[in-house]
Amino acid sequence: MTWMWSSCGSTGCRGTEVSEPGEARGREAPVIELDRFSVEFPGFLFKPLSLCVEPGARIALLGANGAGKSTLLRALGGRLPDYRGKILLGGTELRERLLEHRTQVGLLPEKITGTPDETVSGRLSLISALYPSWDPEYAARLLARLDLSGDAGMATLSKGMGLKYSFVAAEAYRPPILLLDEPTSGLDPVVRREFLALLGEVMDHGLARTLIVSTHLLEDVEAFADRVWVLRDGRMVEDTPLAALDPRGSKHGLSQILYDVLDRPYPG
């Protein structure tokens, strides 16, 4: 069975403190289409999925460990080319123009990479060569806003500092699609709050950018999402506007509503 979904959504505008007045605002996100997408690893099958995501969607990707969240994000980010079916960005199959499509997608992975002798600035300089739209001034402003020194060694970064580095690496070329894999996991409440505030700012660059964030922290969902996807054992079992889950806007009850959604019995 192929699961069919259609996701459309956008959020209102918020001001941004990291963009200079009058500067280029980036690119509008292309439509994302999955056509019978599936992938298989030993002991795991991501079941065939077809869906469409319109520009401007803000999606929370929920599910237990091993449900397929990271697999889906890596595939959308062009880091998992061995899939069946199709992934289309703006109508073009991702694998046909992989390098070009990667410039349209920023992917923040769960784990950062870097050699022990590298600095944050050195690593960002290497990455910048891969992206023609990389904006060094914007990267510098992000580092300053996040209070992360470019001289810091990659091997010395804490969990929170590693998140900051990874976010700058994913955002500095202003990709129209931003994919974040568990970005606030393990962070202290202050850093979490600051990161979510910055995320809200950078996603408003005057154009419809698409955001997909996997998270276990259900209390964070209302800070960035207008739609919820739920994966279970490699299958999409829920694709619902956030407002439909909580029609009365009861913020104190939203986390419990999301827990209930995750615990629902779904047909196999």
The count of domains in the chain is 1
**112-122 confidence digits (pLDDT tens):** 777 778 999 99
User: For all residues of the chain together, what is the average pLDDT?
Assistant: 85
pTM, full prediction: 0.86
Range of the structural domain that residue 186 is part of: 3-13+23-113+167-263
Q: What pLDDT score does 26 carry?
A: 61
Amino acid 268: pLDDT = 66
The CATH number for 238's domain is 3.40.50.300
**Nearest-CA neighbor of 73 among 170, 158, 169, 159?**
170
For residue 240, list its beta bridge partners: 228
Residue 230 falls inside a structural domain: yes
Q: Supply angle C-alpha 228, 54, 100, rounded to 5.
A: 110
pLDDT tier at 125 (50, 70, 90 boundaries)? very high
pLDDT at 182: 92
| Bridge partners, residue 73, by sequence | none
The conformational region for residue 88 under phi > 0 = left, psi -120 to 50 = alpha, else beta, is beta
Asked if the structure places residue 172 within a domain, the reply is yes
Q: Specify the range with the lowest mean pLDDT, choosing from 45-54, 71-80, 239-248.
A: 239-248
What pLDDT, on a 0 to 100 scale, did the predictor assign at position 231? 94
126, part of any domain? no
- Res 164 pLDDT > 70: yes
Domain membership flag for residue 160: no
Asked whether residue 129 is domain-assigned, the answer is no
Tell me what the mean pLDDT of segment 167-176 comes to.
Answer: 94
pLDDT digit string, tens, across residues 27-48: 788 899 999 999 999 999 999 9
Given pLDDT bands bounded at 50, 70 and 90, which one contains residue 206? low
Quote the CA–CA distance of 170 and 108 in Å, as a whole number.
Answer: 6
Q: Helix (H, G, I), strand (E, B), or coil: what is residue 220? A: helix
